[in-house]
Amino acid sequence: ETWYRQAGTPELVCDLAYDAKSQTAELTVEQVLPPTPGEARKRALHIPLRMGLLSSNGQDLPLTLANGDGVEDGVLHVTRRSQKFKFKNVPSRPVPSYLRGFSAPVRLTTELSDRDLAFLMANDGDLFARWQASTDYATRILVQLTRARDPKSHLARVDAYARALQASLQNDELSHSYRAELLRLPSESDIAREIANNVDPARIHDARKLVLKEVGRIAGATLEALYESCASKAPFSPEQDDAGRRALRNSALSVLVARGTKSDKARLVAHFDHANSMTDQAHALYLLAAASGPQRTAALDAFYKQWSDDHLVVDTWFAAQAAAPTASTLATVRKLVKHEKFTFRTPNKVRAVIGTFALQNPAQFNRPDGGGYRFVAQQVMALDRINPQVAARLLNAFRSWRTMEPGRRAKAQAALEELAQSKSLSRDVYEIASKMVD
């Protein structure tokens, strides 16, 4: 019941110490329960922690506690703020696999090294924990690159991650859809939440771009092979296997485009020109919209000409341009809100243009000149007269403004204060805007 009464997401801090002499491994688990309004101190929760210990050959070791009890279904019951579990009959240093099957909705902090995470990426039999290892590895690298004065001085670490990822991509025992997920790096918003304060979205974007480029360089041959092997001339099918192949092919294409060779650019154009499904065509359109040059213009023109009579697909055309992480995107979305197919009276059109720019394009919404903040605040004000509920939801884009570095923070605050002081605001918009600046 405590789970339902206490606010906030708990954190588990796990640390495993191995004693070779006694062949035991002792796990220390601590619950971190951050205070929330009205709850300065919280009660410990009952957290089911499913885990495994992997031997050096990647096999799961039997889990036997020091008192001789087995561990049913690999689940440890964490019920105190600090708790220890001692395992016996552990012949060599194991690599722990935590939170298998996402056994509890918690944040996890561990002692695992880069080498341990790479080992789990290659060997963990639990697919959630395997994915989590890949995500954690990428996250810590992206955070380091974002904070580094010279990100390129850390390329050796990036390359080690890329090789670990490549090994997983070459594992045909993993499904196409699963490998597609492994190729999706943590988003820029994910990394901003991890950094938590003095966030510079442009540096996060550049760090992510660098990692994708290195993965493309190191795993290029593997990605090219996957792209070709996942191609199909068969009619479109929504079946799981076919959807998985499309997902992996498109994920591979994204990383190859980030590599940025001439052949990669030509592959992208061909992918768009010969797409036999909306999934493939739209994916290529997003990538081309983020590029520059005549190919971008040609693709956007061709897509609009083909689908201009389908208002749902036109939303994709709008969104692809609003999501482009380029300096010209703000000018583009200013034009899009004046486009003949755009109207404030259709919420999907608002979401496709303004919502995509504000919520899915952090580098450009959080421009250092404050232009993104001012634009969205102005659109909220205009939309408020027509649809206050949708206008209020757009303000979610400003939720993290206090975590930005000082320059952006000041400009976001100014945009919010100007909005909150506007006359004739709806109650929905006024309450959210005013609370954000209180």
| pLDDT tens, N- to C-terminus, the chain (438 residues) | 789 889 999 999 999 999 999 999 999 999 999 888 888 889 999 999 999 999 999 999 999 999 988 899 999 999 999 999 999 999 999 999 999 999 999 999 999 999 999 999 999 999 999 999 999 999 999 999 999 999 999 999 999 999 999 999 999 999 999 999 999 999 999 999 999 999 999 999 999 999 999 999 999 999 999 999 999 988 889 999 999 999 999 999 999 999 999 999 999 999 999 999 999 999 999 999 999 889 999 999 999 999 999 999 999 999 999 999 999 999 999 999 999 999 999 999 999 999 999 999 999 999 999 999 999 999 999 999 999 999 999 999 999 999 999 999 999 999 999 999 998 999 999 999 999 998
Structure-block tokens of residue 55: 């031997």
Give Dmax (Cα) for the chain.
Answer: 75
Distances (CA, A) of 412 to 302, 400, 418: 37, 10, 10
> Hunting for tokens 């154009």 — which residue is that?
269
State the pLDDT at residue 158: 98
The answer to whether 1-111 and 112-260 have equal CATH topology is: no
User: What is the model's pLDDT at position 438?
Assistant: 86
Bridge partners (DSSP) of residue 199 are 404
Tokens of 193: 């939440």
* CATH 2.60.40.1840 corresponds to the domain 1-111: yes
Q: Which residues, in sequence order, are CB contacts of 84 under 8 Å at separation 6+?
A: 26, 27, 28, 29
pTM, full prediction: 0.94
Structure tokens at 424: 């004739």
pLDDT value for 70: 82
Three-state DSSP at 25 gives: strand
pLDDT at 171: 97
The rounded distance, in Å, linking the Cα atoms of 134 and 131 is 5
The half-sphere exposure of 184 on its side-chain side, counting CA atoms within 13 A, is 14
- Say whether domain 112-260 belongs to CATH 1.25.50.10: yes
CB 395 within 8 A of CB 422: no
277 CB-contact burial (10 Å; exposed 0-12 / middle 13-18 / buried 19+) = middle
Contact of 6 with 42, CB cutoff 8 Å: yes
Q: Where are the domains of the chain?
A: 1-111, 112-260, 366-438
| Residues 367, 202: Cα–Cα separation, whole Å | 8
Q: What angle is formed at CA 165 by the lines to CA 161 and CA 167, rounded to 5 degrees?
A: 120
Rounded Cα gap, residues 279 and 268, in angstroms: 14
Do the Cβ atoms of 320 and 301 come closer than 8 Å? no
- Where does 245-398 show beta strands of DSSP type E? none
| Structure tokens, 232 | 């199909």
